[in-house]
Each structure stands twice: as structure tokens, then as C-alpha cells.
Amino acid sequence: MNPTELAYLLVIIPFIGFLIVAFFGNKMKEGGAYLAIASVASTLVLSILILFDVMENGSYEVSMNWVAGTGLEVGMFIDSLTALMLIVVTFVSTMVVIYSIGYMHDDPSKRRYYAEICLFVGSMLGLILANNFLLMFIFWELVGVCSYLLIGFWYQKPAAASAAKKAFLVTRIGDVLFLTGIAILYVKYGTLNFTELEHLMGHDVQGLLLPALLLFCGAVGKSAQFPLHVWLPNAMEGPTTVSALIHAATMVNAGIYLVARSYFILEHVPDAFLVIAVIGGITALMAATMALVQYDIKGVLAYSTISQLGYMMLALGAGVHAYGYTAGMFHLMNHAFFKALLFLAAGSVIHAVGSNDMRIMGGLHKHMKITSITMLIGSLSIAGFPFFSGFFSKDEVLASVWHAAADNNIYYLLYAMGVFTAFLTAFYIFRMWYMTFAGKQRGDYHPHESPKTMTVPLMILAVLAAGAGFIFFFGFQDFVYFGHAPHLTISHMFEMWQTWVSIAAGLSGIGLATLIYYKGTISPRTFTAGPGRRAIRRVLEMKYYMDEFYMWIAQKIIYGGSLVMDKFDGKVIDGAINGISSGGIALGHASNSFDKNAIDGTVNGLSKGSFIGGKLLWKMQSGRVQDYASLMILGVVGLVILMLLMGVV
């Protein structure tokens, strides 16, 4: 079988799995879990085959026409980036689904869960494989829908239902901008195919900044970057496995992937790189500070995901010459492994404790050794402890930012933010680990180790989280790159002082957390005493008041505006009901709006005009069938007259 057909199978298999589980899952064991595992695992096998094929033969593309004559097509484009993403997504998904057997064992609506997971994985694979922006957007939206369904999986809980809605609406802002960007590209070049666009951009690179930034806006929404990051912390209302899937494998990586995929556009607009890097840097630092004050074990991980995504954006924003592309994608891969590990381990803890609250945990190490040790490995990895995978990728990210600073001084600031974030990351992740596993048990419950189906995926992921970093030097950097490959070696890495800076940042974070939460030599109150420090804590706990800010916008501006409209509405409707004069009043409003049009400027007038136009149309809507029928007949008669005049008949 040739790789072309494999690529189509990759998308088709999960969708078939989805259909079968959705319709017949209840008749199967565990609500169709085994079928779901089979379909996801088979995509993993296919991805590995594709990876080997790409390593041997390079990138290839298959496509067929969708709408003839418009340049729209359905096709697959596979290169090293695609192959990497395929492996990451299918591998993590497989682990998560296997883990789900244990985790979701007692849930009554397992069938729905497994069906939606299959759909989720299938759409994500479609997104990765698409060879043009339109197809990508379609799968992009499917991923959004699936995340909505899965975050709101326990829709009986009001918090879960509203979290799902929030995720859907917030990412929608990015999606609309993304679509606008696609439209601009299509108008400009007449095609959305990646290879064709890349080719065309060799000749014409004028005015690419706007579409590039719009594409990035899509990524901001999907990958939870500042200022659209607010949905991700709420997204943990879903089952923990779903959080692992969303945070590590599918949803949020889509945005990073989009930016990486658009690199051939971005390379023509260096300003866009700066925007991406700044947004990434702000996100990384801001989310890391918010993670410091979380008591919810999943909350810590959710903010750390945002922060790490910020890292990836920062790396991608470092630009073509600084190898940011390689560093960012490497961090994406490692992050997928250790974040999936951390989330699944957290799920195991929650499973044992029955609560998310770290304040009642503690001392769990002696009850659940496997979970504790695997989570420790994940924590060491994310904290950047030397020779764990996170150490290498984080170091590459920071090195590439430093590299980019040669061209633009702002990157020095971003580098400093990155290093400080690394320190904070190490601190909050060990705060979490110590609060959960060290010390004495603070709540009243009987913890127990989780079943094998849950611990085995943890162990597999732990091995990768610990060791995946080395593949950077053995193949990765020569495989995933944009422009030219970096060619770094381990010894070269330790010759650079930047490496020692990030080691120092990570170790001091771990050390501080140990002092405070393990040894207890420093009381955590030291940091919250005093009005100034308490205020900082409050701001962090309220997540920089971002949610409140958005609520304020929604309530005061949008709702207030609609109240004003409502009053206006009442007046106009009353006038209309008064009968014969209604037409006159509407005319008066129309002329009034015309007056204002002349005085207040076009924008004001246009909105008023369309509003009054709407009102007039509303009056035509009598609700009587026969009025509509008369209008229809009038229209037909008009058409016939038109045809007669034009001599068509």
C-alpha cells in the first residue's frame, strides 16, 4: 500500500470509529472503548509508517478537485512537520484512550465519550494533513466543536456547560479572524494550497502583514494565547482525560501548528514574527504567575499549559534565522509528552482522592508510588531539570530567542521573561508535587493506586518525558526545520552560558519550592504578608481580572448598548402601531438619520440607516401567510416583466 492511501486512511479510520461507537457503542464492552482504542492505535501505526516514508522520500502531496474551476481542493500534504505532528497526536491520544478505560469505567455515558474522542482525533488528524487553508479551517472548526462537546461532557454540571460555551465562544473570535485571513489570501492569490501559495509568494509579497496577523489571531484563539487564553482554565471542567487530550495532543497544538505551517508566509513579514514573539512572551509569563496561586491541581496544569504554549509561540516568533521553528516544534513534542503525563497522573490522583483540591491532598506518595514517581518525572521535565526532555527543548527555545536578539533588542527583554518564566515554572510545578505527594495527608479519605490500564500509559509517557530530549541531537534537528537545519551537539550546548542560565533558573525554582513546601524553612506567608504583596496575590487569584474585564465589556457595552437600542425599539414600534402615521414616522427617522449622516459622519449614519431599514423590513413582516404570498406573486410578476423587457422570453 502506498503512503497516499495511508494518509486518507488516517482521517477515515477515526471517523468510522466515531460512527460505529456512536451507534453501536452501547452493545459493546465498555461502551465501545476497545474499538476506540483500536481505531486510534491504528492511526498511530499508520503515522509511524508515514514518518518512515517521509524520512526516506521527503514530502509529498495528493489532492483532488473539490469545486472545479475555483482552485478549491481536498488533499493531503505531508512533510516532516506533518509527520511529527501525526506522531505526537496519535501517540498521546492512544495513551489517553487506554487510560480512559480505567478512568471512565464508572461513567454511564461512556459511549458518547469514546465516540467524541474518536471524532476529536479524526478532526485533528484532518487538520494536520490538510493541504490547503480552507480544508484546514473545516477541520479546525470540527476540532472546536469536539472540544465543546468534550469540555461540556458532564453537561449536567452548570460549570461544565458554561465552560464549554466559553471555550467555544472565545475561540470563535480567533476563528472568525482566521477565516478573514484566509479570505484575503484567496482574493490575493486565487488559491489556498500551501505549495502553490509558497510558490506564488516568491513573486509577490506585498501586503502580507494583515493576512499573516489574521492567521496568527486564529492561533491565538485556539492555542489560548493572551488575550484569548481565558477559556483554557475553564476547560478543565471536562473529564481529566479530555483535559489531557486538549492540553497535550489536539486542540491547543492546532494553533501552534497553524503558525508553523504559515511560516512560508511569515518569513516575508518579519514584523509578524515580533508580534508573535511578544504575545508568546506575555502569555508565558502571565500564565506562569497565575499558576502560582492555584489550589486546584488541574488549575496549576492548565495555567502551565498556557505558559508552555506561550513558550512555543515565543520560539516560533524568534524567526527563521534563529531556528525558532525547530525549537518551537521540539518543545511542542516534549510538552505533549510531559503534559499528557502530568494530566493523566493528576487524573489518577483525583481518581484516588475524589477531589481536585490540593489543600486536602498531601502524603500520597506512600499510597500511590507509580503515580507519584511518574508525576515527579513529568515535573522534572517541565521544570527543565538537566537531561530531562523539557530541559533540552526549553533551552533551545531560550537560545533561539537570544539568537533573534541580534537583530532586534526587544528579544533581550523576551529572553529575560523566558528565563524568569522558567524559574516560576519550576517553582509552581514542584509546589504542586510537594502539596500532593509529600508531607502528611490533610483530608479524610483512603487513597489507593489506580488500575493497570491507568498506570501503564503513565509509565510509557514517563519514559518519553524523561528521554525524548535526546532525539533532538539524533535526527530531530535534521528532520524538522525551516530553511536550514541547526546542527547542534550536546557538548556545544553546554559551552553556551545561556544553557547554564536556564539550568540555574530551573534548579533555583525547584530549590525554593523545596524550601517552602517540603522543608518548611520559609513560610509561604512571607510572600503574601503585607498589603502590597496581598494585592499582588489577589490580582493573580483573580487571573488579572481578565474574565471580569470581558464580563464588563459584555454587560456594560454590549448589553447597555442593546438596552439603548431596546428603548429606541419601543419608540419606533409604538409609532408603527399607531397606524397610518407609521410610514411617516419611519420616513422621519430615515430623514433624521440622513441629517445625522450629514452631520455625524458616515459610520454613524450607516448604522442608523441599516437599523431603520431593518425596522421598515420588520413592518413588512406581518406574519400573515397571504401577505407573503402577495409579495411573492409581485416578485414573480416583476421578474416576468424584467424578462420580457430584456427579451429573454
Partner 1 sequence: MIPLTHYLILSAMLFCIGMYGVLTKKNAIYVLMSIEIMLNAVNINFVAFSAYSGDVSGQIFALFSIALAAAEVAIGLAIFLLLYKRYGTVELQKIRLLRW
Helix axes 389-404, 497-513, angle to 10 degrees: 130
Cβ 165 to partner 1 shortest distance, Å = 24
Query: Which residues are CB-neighbours of 489 under 8 A, at least 6 positions away?
Result: 473
Cβ 612 to partner 1 shortest distance, Å = 19
Cβ 203 to partner 1 shortest distance, Å = 53
Instruction: State the SS3 of 237-256.
Output: HCCHHHHHHHHHHCHHHHHH
CB nearer partner 1, residue 156 or residue 621: 621
Cβ 576 to partner 1 shortest distance, Å = 13
CB nearer partner 1, residue 491 or residue 626: 626
Cβ 541 to partner 1 shortest distance, Å = 44
Contacts with partner 1 by CB under 8 A lie at 621-626, 628-630, 633
CB nearer partner 1, residue 2 or residue 621: 621
CB nearer partner 1, residue 625 or residue 645: 625
CB nearer partner 1, residue 203 or residue 624: 624
- The distance from CA 32 to its chain's CA centroid, rounded to whole angstroms, is 27
Cβ 152 to partner 1 shortest distance, Å = 29
CB nearer partner 1, residue 515 or residue 629: 629
CB nearer partner 1, residue 529 or residue 633: 633
Distance CA 636, CA 643 (A): 10
Distance CA 336, CA 649 (A): 66
Cβ 634 to partner 1 shortest distance, Å = 11
Cβ 566 to partner 1 shortest distance, Å = 15
Query: Which residues are CB-neighbours of 244 under 8 A, at least 6 positions away?
Result: 92, 96, 99, 339, 340, 343, 344, 347
Cβ 620 to partner 1 shortest distance, Å = 10
Instruction: Bin 80: left if φ > 0, else alpha if -120 < ψ < 50, else beta.
Output: alpha
CB nearer partner 1, residue 591 or residue 630: 630
Q: CB of 324 within 8 A of CB of 311?
A: no
β-bridge mates for residue 64, sequence order = 74
Collect contacts of 467-470 with beta carbons under 8 A, ≥24 apart: 467/389, 468/333, 468/334, 468/337, 468/389, 469/334, 469/387, 469/388, 469/389, 469/390, 469/391, 469/392, 469/393, 470/392
CB nearer partner 1, residue 406 or residue 643: 643
Cβ 578 to partner 1 shortest distance, Å = 18
Distance CA 137, CA 132 (A): 9
Q: Which residues of 394-424 are buried (b: 16+ CB within 10 A; e: fewer)?
A: bbbbbbbbbbbbeeeeebeebbebbbbbbbb
Cβ 625 to partner 1 shortest distance, Å = 5
Cβ 323 to partner 1 shortest distance, Å = 59
CB nearer partner 1, residue 574 or residue 595: 574
**Amino acid at residue number 406:** A
Q: Cα-flanking dihedrals φ and ψ of residue 586, to 5°?
A: -60, -40
Distance CA 390, CA 377 (A): 10
Cα within 13 Å of Cα(307), Cβ side:
30
CB nearer partner 1, residue 532 or residue 623: 623
Distance CA 43, CA 12 (A): 10
The DSSP annotation for 8-23 comes to: HHHHHHHHHHHHHHHH
CB nearer partner 1, residue 489 or residue 622: 622
Cβ 619 to partner 1 shortest distance, Å = 11
Distance CA 47, CA 85 (A): 9
CB nearer partner 1, residue 632 or residue 642: 632
CB nearer partner 1, residue 409 or residue 626: 626
Distance CA 315, CA 309 (A): 10
- The distance from CA 405 to its chain's CA centroid, rounded to whole angstroms, is 27
Question: To which residue does cell 497516499 refer?
Answer: 4
Cβ 630 to partner 1 shortest distance, Å = 6
β-bridge mates for residue 357, sequence order = 296
**Cell numbers given for 42:** 491504528
- The distance from CA 155 to its chain's CA centroid, rounded to whole angstroms, is 21
